[in-house]
Amino acid sequence: MKQLIIPGKEKPYLMAHRGNQAVCPENTLAAFRQALQDGADLLETDLHLSADNVFVCIHDDTLERTTDGQGPVKDKTLTELKEYSASYGRPEFNEERIPTLAELAAILPPDVGLALELKIDDFLQPEVAHKLSGELKSLGIHDRVVIISFSLERLKAVQAVDADIPAGWITMTGLRPIMGVQLLGPFWKLLLRNPGYVRQARTRGQIVCPLDSHGEERMWLYRLLKCEVIMSDDPAALARAMGR
């Protein structure tokens, strides 16, 4: 299976978790643009489907936390979703809206990758997996995408229709690296309990991105373990900690 490689970038890669959440509302174009200015190598976002089957970038199943809308994301058409502000209650970002995957791809530089967290079981359906694969190809970003999820079943379902998309498994409890995925995202405290985790993954050709929204606070650990991807809610702070 294909590995995650970003041409022209050296590891460790810097992953911006939902863009730059420290400065902007999460999962908005403002947050993604800021993360790019901060030097992110990878933008991470969360994928849902609207009622009319458009891929949209929002973390929660419902609208209440990050927008001024209400109800499940899946019950709203894209037109309806675009009526809501995604400002996360911050007036200076009132004009921000929930982005589509296509809108995010449109601002993605050719040397930056994209990590897509599959948030819903719709990705278990072959037609949705085919739709995602086809859209990534038509948007010209297929070769720079990794799909990630806490659900192995969702990852396997997408790779069953497109084995060329690298997959990453996120876990809060798995103490040892599993086979069958290209990227592993263990909660960072698991690496303290099993310091050999990264080394074992590397012998299998896998890369590790610790699940840590403040990776800059533990750069000493990730340098020691030689992690190949490091993430943060604040990519600017992480870039400084990485010496960039």
**Residues recognised as catalytic:** 17, 59
Tell me the HSE value of 88 on the side-chain side, using a 13 A CA sphere.
13
Which residue in this structure is represented by tokens 């995010």? 104
Nearest to 149 by CA among 238, 50, 59, 81: 59
Residue 102: which H helix or E strand, with range?
helix 101-107
**Measured between alpha carbons, how far is residue 59 from residues 139, 180, 191, 227 in Å?**
22, 25, 25, 25
Q: Is 15 helix (H, G, I), strand (E, B) or coil?
A: strand
Eight-state DSSP code of residue 71: S
Distance between CA atoms of residues 92 and 232, nearest Å: 23
- d(Cα 208, Cα 176) in Å, to the nearest integer? 12
Which residue matches tokens 């990630």? Answer: 148
